[in-house]
């Protein structure tokens, strides 16, 4: 192996170490989204602004977003331990992840109100984070977290 290839492999190995240190990324991302107003949920997942009118699909969008990012991380060999731990806790401790899925259960519990469903999901996420207190969560909450909305609506 020549020195140029060795350097490339070293850079790739360094990047892999950096990526593996970001196993918290999805849970942190969901936490930051949860701090915003629920009706702006889609905006933080990269959906166009006019999609916010899709009130009847918001819980499906959130579930799909979480599932997609989790699977993408798994395929990229990025540790998904923290999000997996959250869903195991939701299933085993809280008994809020039945076989039909959390979104279906919460949808029934909240009489079809998508904003209440999302709020219920966020409340469990916050409870889990307060219980586990991951390092990123503690650091992030040392000072106020401003809204990401820049138009004054946040």
Digit-coded pLDDT (tens) for 56-86:
567 777 887 888 888 888 888 877 788 889 9
pTM of full prediction above 0.95: no
**Distance separating alpha carbons of residues 51 and 26, to the nearest angstrom:** 22
Tell me the C-alpha distance between 73 and 101, whole Å.
20
Average of per-residue pLDDT across 89-102: 88
Give how far the C-alpha of residue 89 lies from the chain's centroid of Cα atoms, to the nearest Å: 15
Q: Is the pLDDT of residue 47 over 90?
A: no
Helical H segments across 35-78, by residue range: 58-75
Token pair belonging to 15: 């990047």
- Strands (DSSP E) contained in the chain are none
Q: What is the mean pLDDT of residues 114-136?
A: 89
């Amino acid at each position: 192996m020549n020195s140029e290839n060795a350097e490339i492999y070293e850079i790739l190995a360094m990047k892999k170490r950096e990526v593996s240190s970001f196993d918290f990324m999805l849970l942190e991302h969901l936490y930051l989204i949860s701090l915003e107003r629920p009706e702006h949920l889609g905006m933080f997942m990269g959906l166009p602004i006019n999609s916010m009118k899709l009130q009847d699909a918001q819980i499906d969008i959130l579930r799909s977003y979480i599932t997609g990012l989790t699977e993408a991380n798994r395929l990229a060999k990025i540790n998904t331990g923290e999000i997996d731990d959250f869903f195991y806790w939701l299933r085993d401790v809280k008994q809020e992840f039945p076989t039909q899925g959390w979104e279906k259960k919460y949808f029934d519990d909240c009489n079809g109100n998508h904003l209440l469903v999302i709020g219920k999901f966020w409340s469990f996420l916050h409870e889990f984070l307060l219980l586990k207190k991951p390092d990123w969560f503690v650091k992030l909450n040392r000072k106020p977290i401003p809204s990401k909305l820049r138009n004054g609506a946040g």
